[in-house]
Structure 1
């Protein structure tokens, strides 16, 4: 896989299928008038067609606003985990997401992890991923981002693994490095 090259933080973009999966399908009917107005104030008008890409910083602000509005009173990490779970389910209702979810079921957990490189790259213009197999059902994954949404990425990975048929999937941050995060992805082999 050819590296993309470094994308400056201000040039990082998240593609429409990610926003559509989250807002139209993941959060769906829980988009209240207040949430709709708060998103509009930060430049995301849900009453108009979604543009093809969004600045990554806007995406992160969206996550925080949605967390405040949809999961009030829920501890921050648990709220982000629930949001990620709904996001994966919502993404599965998009054109790209439906095809990807069918593919994950066919691939199984090991090949799903191997395909995460392409899957994560399909959602934006900047994500780089490196994988290292540590043993059966045990992988280390480095990703070139540090997300200010505790529990969110981990829950995304767990839910993708569940979609692939993985038994008892688990994802955790091992360490943060300058400009990246290392995760441990694990599941029980049959």
Structure 2
């Protein structure tokens, strides 16, 4: 089946399906066609094409995790060459959310987030992240009406990218002065403390 890679079930000898990690079209569209469309250099656009995202053609329904990660690495270097790397990744996370809101999927999500407010929106964070790709998972621990702890299973080695995503999501839901910081790294994931003002 397309989009699935076969693997062998231990000790049984039958293939089992392991889903490929994919980032969906509207996520790519939001970042590169809306948020950054006139802000990247020609060299960066050529790098994206070489990495597998050709924006001169219709977008594919999904892109591999590896393609997306490489595209983000190229983008953060081009967009924020003078910033500390962590800050560049944080800003890129914010750009992803800010671009996504211009897509059909993103506009619907923003409308719901504004109705729900920050805390109730964060309760739906796992669904929100899973609408962007098929591999990121999140769990929420509520600490107060304006703070929580968020665990994310995969941060691509760049947890500040997810700090930016979390801050932008809270802001879209109406939270003021949103702050997110890494509490701990856990394998390929991380745990964040998130707070905001009403």
Question: Unmatched 5+ residue regions in structure 2?
Answer: 1-16
Question: Unmatched 5+ residue regions in structure 1?
Answer: 1-6
Match of 1:143 in 2: 152
Q: So what's the TM-score if we normalise by structure 1?
A: 0.89
Q: 1:159 aligns with which of 168, 174, 183?
A: 168
- Match status 1:183 vs 2:192: yes
Q: 1:63 aligns with which of 44, 62, 72?
A: 72
Q: So what's the TM-score if we normalise by structure 2?
A: 0.86
Alpha-carbon distance in structure 1 between the residues aligned to 2:40 and 2:188: 32
The alpha carbon displacement at 1:61 in A equals 0.9
More strand by share: 2
Higher-RCO chain (CA-CA 8 Å, sequence separation at least 6)? 1
- The question of whether the paired residues in 2 share the 8 Å contact of 1:76 and 1:150 is answered with no
- Match status 1:114 vs 2:123: yes
* Residue correspondences, number: 182
Alpha-carbon distance in structure 1 between the residues aligned to 2:189 and 2:80: 27
Match of 1:3 in 2: none
Q: How does 1:72-111 map to 2 (within 5 A)?
A: 72-111=81-120
Bigger Rg, structure 1 or 2: 2
Alpha-carbon distance in structure 2 between the residues aligned to 1:178 and 1:65: 24
Change (3 A) 1:19 1:68: same
- Match status 1:53 vs 2:40: no
More helix by share: 1
Alpha-carbon RMSD? 1.7
The alpha carbon displacement at 1:150 in A equals 4.5
